[in-house]
């Protein structure tokens, strides 16, 4: 699992709480077609920067919150004048929710909400004078500018990710009203005809809010007659107590009454981006990782947030490709047009590069750095493959698709066409998607592209996506711990993903590949000695080595050096791993270990075994010592071969080790010492078959000459090849390591380090983003009466504990429990659920390190300039069985 972190090619991310802070603030609103929140300049008619405006004073309201900020005093004036539409707007905010009030010991009113959205809306109503004060299982008490109102709670039609809305039915005095809030596209489908003017004005405001990256909700109201409600209540009761298809029946009943709504207005909530998101996404894209954001945003919001967080940039060849068709034919036509556009751009670039490309790329060493060599090494391959790679990376495309179009694009007939467009895009944004669609998108990419994928999210609606990906990362945020519990890794903020992949993931993959290559090499070298000896013993199954040596070769003599290399080895330190994100590329194409790498290790072991068998055989054939005693017996020869084998493979692991620690020294040189100690102890103390053999050969000068000769013959070609490769054909890692060595000798003030990359490249307004999604509501819990008492005020501690259990998947009632238990208590709405993205300014200094930085290629990572504290953020590995 750890090494797969170094092979990620696709990242699928939620937005709210993952890219953003999930800390909501009421920012703007639209009431009866009039916008509030912006301060307009009387002369220019343009909005004034709010930072230079005075905040609205809410201190006359004894329940106001000092932290609440709003700048448009006209809205408060309308409320104070008793504007009926403004009163209705804030009354809906104060009543249509599942928030619970909690009074602290000093009498301060606080709210416990299932999502930050609801908390922000109820707090906004509170500061404007509509204070939600108390809830029981059958009543909701609010305080308005005209006095205290106690509303009888008749039913809660709760929120889920399919409905994308919630409603409450309340009776106040003799009037029964349904208050509803939800996503704009959902509410607009249920509005009463004849509201074209206010609908058009509100839609314009929604488009403006979304373009600024704000989260939007639409509010509606409907007045019900007593007979109409009673008839509907009977249908609701039947659906609530049905044993089969209860959730589907409840949704059908909800749709009956949630229609012919009167549009009241819309809200706009700001959710700021987390720190370091833009830089992290830019560096991950520089590394070659493709980023997909799967969110419930409006399309305009999604595009704006894409520019804000560097997912979309001004370097795109064209504006992001939009797929928003509502029918199969429209989606198919858009996919075909986008694919033709991409192919046209690629053909144009390819013809341009063929004309301007150099005819040859001669070999140059690390002191010349020719441009042709840079292009070839940067792509990590040669010939046509390199040209194709350069062409792909020279063009950036982006795709934005909404939920309606995605439903068609995921059909078997269109999924290949969809992937044909998406695979050319460095960034894809899927907006207005459900949790099931998130999982289906991840599974489609895994199946079609056969790549290693990573999904990251923070809420319960991300669990299906996290489980569908190869690696799941959960962010412990404001929406509970469901995502964390379902994931393989847990981090606190999105920016730590950069270090998790570019440092820890890359190191893990690099170490495992070195471990495997060396493991195969040393065992081929060991095993094939018996194969060569078989030609000398007539294939009699006689082994050349001591049986005891065979038993402990992989246990004592050669195991510890390779294990500690796999624990600690680093080709490039963490600073340069973050500084040069393109070093991550070899893991994406599995260049450190593949079938070719396996056969290379096997061939190396094959040649080594032949050398360390043939040289001792020639030296000890008919060998006698100075006294004429024969030294060519089987035991002596086996001891010589075994000793040389241990020394050669130990010298090889010392040559392979890039990062030396005390433990590496202890295990590598200690393995040689242990070999001699155990061999003498076994033969002399226990009485092995090879007793005295090693002692005898060590007394002869031939032994030491053969050991030295064989070791040099085995190791010298490896050293020569690696020197040639590093000096003549260096790869990105070799260049980075030379930069690393150069940095140790040159002071930072003399190193000519390039200017930091600016993460903000957007040409649009940099604001926060929105996704209409939160966990399934607490309607059943509220109306069940199990936590709150109908006769008394609610207990804040018990409710907080209930919320904690619900967020952690330990709710007191099962998913399929009845929403109606036969009593006269109000009905609670049942809810349904689905299955669940270097060009560097040339410094004046001309040090070797400067030249290498220019040659490594790719945009230099902004993480190099980040505070060390952020670089050393803790990572927690979750022991999960989700995969």
| Residues involved in catalysis | 14
> Cβ distance 214 to 301 under 8 Å?
yes
> Cβ distance 571 to 851 under 8 Å?
no
- Phi, psi for 413 (deg, rounded to 5): -75, -25
- Cα dihedral 532, 537, 541, 546, rounded to 10, equals -80
| CA 135-138-143 angle, 5° bins | 40
- The structure tokens listed for 404 are 């309606």
What is the C-alpha to C-alpha distance for residues 824 and 821, in angstroms, rounded to an integer? 9
What is the C-alpha to C-alpha distance for residues 257 and 151, in angstroms, rounded to an integer? 19
What is the C-alpha to C-alpha distance for residues 335 and 421, in angstroms, rounded to an integer? 7
- Phi, psi for 141 (deg, rounded to 5): -110, 130
List of residues 6+ apart from 388 with CB closer than 8 A: none
- The structure tokens listed for 876 are 């927690």
- Phi, psi for 135 (deg, rounded to 5): -140, 140
Residue 69 neighbours by CB distance under 10 Å: 14
Q: Is 486 exposed, middle or buried (0-12, 13-18, 19+ CB in 10 A)?
A: buried
> Cβ distance 258 to 165 under 8 Å?
yes
Query: The dihedral of CA 306, 863, 738, 503: what is its sign?
Result: negative
Q: Is 43 exposed, middle or buried (0-12, 13-18, 19+ CB in 10 A)?
A: exposed
- The structure tokens listed for 230 are 């009673």
Q: What share of the chain is helix, strand, coil (3-state, %, to 5)?
A: 50, 15, 35
Q: Identify the helix (H) or strand (E) that includes residue 24.
A: strand 20-31
Phi-psi region of 369 (alpha: psi -120 to 50; beta: other; left: phi over 0): left
What is the C-alpha to C-alpha distance for residues 289 and 284, in angstroms, rounded to an integer? 6
What is the C-alpha to C-alpha distance for residues 91 and 175, in angstroms, rounded to an integer? 14
Q: Identify the helix (H) or strand (E) that includes residue 389.
A: helix 383-394
Q: Is 531 exposed, middle or buried (0-12, 13-18, 19+ CB in 10 A)?
A: middle
Q: What is the DSSP string of 592-622?
A: SSSHHHHHHHHHHHHHHHHHHHHHHHHHHTT
List of residues 6+ apart from 147 with CB closer than 8 A: none
CA distances (Å), origin 588, targets 154, 164, 502, 583 = 57, 38, 12, 10
β-pairing, 398-402 with 427-431? parallel
Closest among 181, 377, 330 to 266, alpha carbons compared: 181
List of residues 6+ apart from 787 with CB closer than 8 A: 781, 794, 795, 798, 799, 802, 812
DSSP class of residue 557 equals: I
β-pairing, 427-431 with 290-294? parallel
Provide the angle, in degrees to the nearest 10, between the axes of the packed helices 328-356 and 412-422. Answer: 30
């Amino acid at each position: 699992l750890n090494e797969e972190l170094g092979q990620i090619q696709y990242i699928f991310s939620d937005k709210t709480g993952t890219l953003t802070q999930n800390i909501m603030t009421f920012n703007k609103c639209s009431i009866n077609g009039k916008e509030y929140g912006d301060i307009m300049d009387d002369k220019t008619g343009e909005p004034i920067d709010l930072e230079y405006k005075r905040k609205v004073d809410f201190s006359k309201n004894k329940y106001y919150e000092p932290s609440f900020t709003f700048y448009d005093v006209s809205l408060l004036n309308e409320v104070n004048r008793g504007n009926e539409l403004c009163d209705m707007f804030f009354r809906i905010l104060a009543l249509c929710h599942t928030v619970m009030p909690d009074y602290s010991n000093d009498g301060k009113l606080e709210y416990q909400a299932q999502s930050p959205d609801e908390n922000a809306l109820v707090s906004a109503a509170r500061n404007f004078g509509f204070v939600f004060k108390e809830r029981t299982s059958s009543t909701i008490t609010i305080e308005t500018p005209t006095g205290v109102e106690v509303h009888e709670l008749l039913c809660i039609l709760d929120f889920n990710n399919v409905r994308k809305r919630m409603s409450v039915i309340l009776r106040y005095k003799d009037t029964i009203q349904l208050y509803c809030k939800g996503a704009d596209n959902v509410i607009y489908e249920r509005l009463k005809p004849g509201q074209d003017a206010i609908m058009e004005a509100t839609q314009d405001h929604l488009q403006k809010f979304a373009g600024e990256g704000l989260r939007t909700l639409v509010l509606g109201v409907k007045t019900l007659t007593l007979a109409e409600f009673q008839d509907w209540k009977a249908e609701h009761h039947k659906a609530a107590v049905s044993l089969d298809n209860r959730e589907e029946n409840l949704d059908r009943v909800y749709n009956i009454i949630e229609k012919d709504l009167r549009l009241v207005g819309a809200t706009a909530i700001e959710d700021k981006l987390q720190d370091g998101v833009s830089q992290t996404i830019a560096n991950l894209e520089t590394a070659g990782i493709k980023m997909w954001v799967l969110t419930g945003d409006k399309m305009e919001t999604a595009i704006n947030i894409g520019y804000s967080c560097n997912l979309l940039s001004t370097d795109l060849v064209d504006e992001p490709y939009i797929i928003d068709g509502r029918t199969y034919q429209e989606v198919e036509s858009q996919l075909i047009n986008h694919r033709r556009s991409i192919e046209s751009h690629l053909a144009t670039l390819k013809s341009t590069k063929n004309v301007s490309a150099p005819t040859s790329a001669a070999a140059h060493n690390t002191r010349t750095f020719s441009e042709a060599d840079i292009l070839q090494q940067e792509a990590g391959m040669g010939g046509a493959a390199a040209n194709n790679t350069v062409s792909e990376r020279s063009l950036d495309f982006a795709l934005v698709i909404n939920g309606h179009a995605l439903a068609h694009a995921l059909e078997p007939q269109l999924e290949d066409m969809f992937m044909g467009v998406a695979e050319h895009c460095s960034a894809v944004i899927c907006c207005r998607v459900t949790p099931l669609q998130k999982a289906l998108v991840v599974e489609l990419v895994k199946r079609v592209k056969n790549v290693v994928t990573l999904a990251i999210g923070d809420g319960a609606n991300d669990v299906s996506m996290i489980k569908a990906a190869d690696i799941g990362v959960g962010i412990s945020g404001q929406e509970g711990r469901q995502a964390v519990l379902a994931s393989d890794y847990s981090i606190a903020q999105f920016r730590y993903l950069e270090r998790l992949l570019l440092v820890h993931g890359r190191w893990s993959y690099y170490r495992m590949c070195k471990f495997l290559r060396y493991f195969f090499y040393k065992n081929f070298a060991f095993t094939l000695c018996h194969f060569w000896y078989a030609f000398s013993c007539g294939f009699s199954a006689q082994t050349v080595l001591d049986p005891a040596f065979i038993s402990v070769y992989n246990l004592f003599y050669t195991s510890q050096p390779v294990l500690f290399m796999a624990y600690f080895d680093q080709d490039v330190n963490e600073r340069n791993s973050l500084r040069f994100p393109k070093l991550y590329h070899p893991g994406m194409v599995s260049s450190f270990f593949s079938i070719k790498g396996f056969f290379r290790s096997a061939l190396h072991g094959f040649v080594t075994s032949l050398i360390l068998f043939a040289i001792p055989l020639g030296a000890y054939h008919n060998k006698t010592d100075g006294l004429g005693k024969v030294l060519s017996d089987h035991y002596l020869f086996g001891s010589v071969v075994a000793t040389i084998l241990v020394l050669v493979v130990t010298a090889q692991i010392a040559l392979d080790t890039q990062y030396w620690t005390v433990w590496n020294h202890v295990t590598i040189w200690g393995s040689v010492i242990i070999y001699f100690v155990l061999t003498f102890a076994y033969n002399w103390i226990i009485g092995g078959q090879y007793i005295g053999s090693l002692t005898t050969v060590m007394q002869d000068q031939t032994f030491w000459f053969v050991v030295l000769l064989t070791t040099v013959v085995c190791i010298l070609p490896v050293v020569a090849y690696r020197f040639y490769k590093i000096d003549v054909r260096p790869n990105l890692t070799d260049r980075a390591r030379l930069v690393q060595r150069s940095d140790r000798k040159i002071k930072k003030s003399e190193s000519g380090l390039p200017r930091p990359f600016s993460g903000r490249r957007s040409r649009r307004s940099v604001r926060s983003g929105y996704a209409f999604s939160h966990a399934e509501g607490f309607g059943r819990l509220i109306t069940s009466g199990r936590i709150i008492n109908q006769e008394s005020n609610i207990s804040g501690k018990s409710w907080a504990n209930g919320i904690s259990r619900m967020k952690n998947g330990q709710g007191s009632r099962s998913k399929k429990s009845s929403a109606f238990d036969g009593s006269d208590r109000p009905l609670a709405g049942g809810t349904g659920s689905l299955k669940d993205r270097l060009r560097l300014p040339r410094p004046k200094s001309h040090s070797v390190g400067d030249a290498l930085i220019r040659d490594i290629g790719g945009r230099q990572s902004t993480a190099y300039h980040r505070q060390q504290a952020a670089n050393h953020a803790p990572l927690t590995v979750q022991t999960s069985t989700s995969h």
